[in-house]
Structures are given as structure tokens and as C-alpha cells.
Structure 1
């Protein structure tokens, strides 16, 4: 599907696929500046749309957490945990990546649970196809019914 809008944050790419779906493709590791830019972008999308949206994250090209923790590798995750709000999202879907990446992201999701007033729904899947299928099923289950005609 063609993107309505695209952003490039260093080596990371984000695209608005439809009015309620934002796709992020992670390549390499996030710098602190890229994490800051992503946080601003996520908040701006929430403000522009006026409602929660889906975030789908392709981890296939990311390097994941480094074996030796450094301040440089921890800072972007800390920034995201402190500034991203669960109420911005209908749900977040992660696919691809390594087990260690998923564990770090699960910890980040748990941290986000404590910052908001709502529960953040997150799914960890293997493939883009599974992510699309889950997204479509979730959208169908959570689409409000059409408005009743006025008498």
C-alpha cells in the first residue's frame, strides 16, 4: 500500500499508511536524537488524528540491544519510556527481530503501562503478513458500529 506521508529519522523510516496506521521500519540502532524525533512524530500524529492509532514496527533490520549495555544504548529506550504515552495508540504490533529485542520491547511496553491511564495492547509477531492479518482482524473487532439514523 502506498504511504500517505513518510519521514526519515536517521536510518529509521516511518510512514503513514492510512488514517489510523503508522508503520515504522527500524534499521540499525536508535540514537538518542532519533528517539527524540520519533517521540515528537508519534505525539504529533495523535494530535493531528485526534484519536489513537495503530503503530506497526518492523524490527527485521534492527540490531537490537547490544551485548554490553552502554549509556548510549540505554538513553534512547529511556527517552521513549519516559515520553511516549499509551493513550496515543489503539495497539502496537512488533514483527521480525530477535528474541532479545522482543524482551527489551516487552519491558518498554510494561514501563509505558505505568505512564498512562489506559492499558497498552501490544503484539509480538514473526512476519509482516501476520502483522497485517492481526491488524485487519483487530480493526474489524474495534470499529464502532455505524450511527443510527435520526427519527
Structure 2
């Protein structure tokens, strides 16, 4: 993937990759100010189209106020999917709890996946893109068939 832009936010690195990927590598504690910057970048990227966000959290922790800001700030219309790389059991529980809360409030209905490596995350996104293309092709075919019947 081609890196279009990279941001350093404290110890964290955010990379925009073609065509629609925001790769986030978190190292050390993640604070609310880091999440504010992430939200700005994700929102700006999503101005054109929904994005996949991969968060490599193997070397990080997230502070409570940062978790709360993240759950309040994410918008489903920005996101095609979320993949967390290297989440331990506690991190998975935190992510799932945040997303369940958002799901029940109607704020977030986004596919969330967990991966153990960068390659696994990229494979998940490739499968998701392929499924989207298949769904679009099926919808186009159904629409063409329906128009022939009229």
C-alpha cells in the first residue's frame, strides 16, 4: 500500500494509505489529546468516503478519558470497518464494551475485527473489500434484471 500521509502524535503514528485506510500504531499511553487528533484525521479522511481504521495496540494502553472521548466522537458514517491488531483479553473486552454501548445507542454499527499481525489485518480488509465489491455487483445485476422486466 502507498502511504499518502503520516502524522506523529506523541509516540503514536497515524498513516493514510491508499485507497481508504487509516493505519494507527499506538505506543505507550493513549491520552484524550491523542484521540482528539485521531478523530480529526479520521473525520477529514472520511469527508470523501468511509475509511477502514486499523489500530495496532500491541504496545499501548488507553486512559479512561481517552476511551470515553473515542466512544463519544466516532461516527459510523466515517467508518467502513475497524481492525485492532494485537489486542490482549482486557483490550478486547474494553473495545467490545465500547462498541456494544455505541451499538445499543444507535451510534455505531461498524464491523470490528481483531488480528494478531499486520498481515492478518490487511487480509481482513482485503476480504471485506472483496465482499463489498461482490455485494455491489449483485445489486447492480439485480437492478439490471428488474429493469428488463419493466
Task: State TM-score, norm by structure 2.
Answer: 0.82
Q: Tell me, in whole angstroms, the C-alpha distance in 1 between the residues paired with 2:50 and 2:115.
A: 21
- Partner of residue 108 from structure 1, selected from 98, 104, 114: 98
Name the structure where helix makes up a greater proportion of residues: 2
Contact 1:86 1:112 (8 Å CA) reproduced: no
- The one of 50, 54, 60 aligned to 1:56: 54
Please point out which of 53, 62, 81 is paired with 1:91: 81
**Does the aligned pair in 1 maintain the 2:87–2:114 contact within 8 Å?**
no
SS in structure 2 of the partner of residue 14 of structure 1: strand
Alpha-carbon distance in 2 for matches of 1:87, 1:121 = 12
Query: Is residue 74 of structure 2 the alignment partner of residue 74 of structure 1?
Result: no
- C-alpha contact (below 8 Å) 1:86/1:115 kept by paired residues: no
- In the TM superposition, what are the counterparts of 1:1-151 in structure 2 within 5 Å? 1-47=1-47, 49=48, 51-62=49-60, 64=61, 73-113=63-103, 114-116=105-107, 119-143=109-133, 144-145=136-137
Shift in Å, 1:9: 1.2
Q: CA deviation at 1:78?
A: 0.6
- TM-score calculated relative to the size of structure 1: 0.81
User: In structure 2, how many angstroms separate the alpha carbons of the residues matched to 1:133 and 1:77?
Assistant: 27
The CA deviation at 1:98 is: 1.6
Larger relative contact order (Cα-Cα within 8 Å, sequence gap ≥ 6): 1
Deviation for aligned residue 1:91: 0.7
RMSD: 2.0
Q: Which aligned runs of 4 or more in structure 1 are off by greater than 3 angstroms?
A: none
Deviation (angstroms), 1:124: 1.2
Larger displacement relative to structure 2 (89-98 or 106-115) = 106-115
List runs of 5+ in structure 1 lacking aligned partners. Answer: 66-72
CA shift, 1:11, in A, is 1.2
